[in-house]
Amino acid sequence: MSLTTIASPHRGSAFADWMFKWIGLTNIPKLYKALEFFGLDSGAFQQLTMEYMNESFNPRTPDLDGVRYFSYGATLRPRITSVFRKSHAVIEQVEGPNDGLVSVSSSQWGTYKGTLDDVSHLDLINWTNKLRWYLWELTGHKRNFNAIAFYLDIADMLAKEGL
């Protein structure tokens, strides 16, 4: 049995901390109410903070004997049009290299299999802006990450490990 995580915030995210500070404690209930009005669950946001992960979740969720843990991280060099410019800068200042939402250091758990270079958090779930890649390919740039191939490689690695 195994668990493989990809850019998971095992130790939280400095951007979540920054957002809660920026929004302000008195405004958080209003934000949650607005999100719930639009049918969005708000419970997970606070669970992404560094304090929650390190002081609550991780101590209550120990690794299980007999389970092999693998993890991957990612780094990003956000371009001027990237939605991750602000979040990347906030995380980089506190935690170092990151994919726009999760630092490499926070993503490491169990056997660390490596860091994907210049891959955003959205690239990892195959939500890459298709128009952006189409325009880049027209100008001769190659796509640097294929999420489907990456996940197939993980399945192959697990099979070779007998998992």
Domain boundary assignment for the chain: 2-160
The pLDDT of residue 44: 72
Calpha distance 49→53 (Å, rounded): 6
The pLDDT of residue 79: 85
> Per residue in 9-24, is it b (16+ CB within 10 Å) or e — as a string?
bbbbbbbbbbbbeeee
Tens digits of per-residue pLDDT, 65-77? 999 999 999 999 9
Superfamily of domain 2-160 in the CATH hierarchy: Alpha/Beta hydrolase fold, catalytic domain (3.40.50.1820)
On the question of pLDDT at 85 being above 70, the answer is: yes
- Give the whole-number percent of the chain exceeding pLDDT 90: 60
The pLDDT of residue 127: 77
Q: Please give the residue that has the higher pLDDT: either 24 or 110.
A: 110
Instruction: State the chain's mean pLDDT as an integer.
Output: 88
On the question of pLDDT at 104 being above 90, the answer is: yes
On the question of pLDDT at 53 being above 90, the answer is: yes
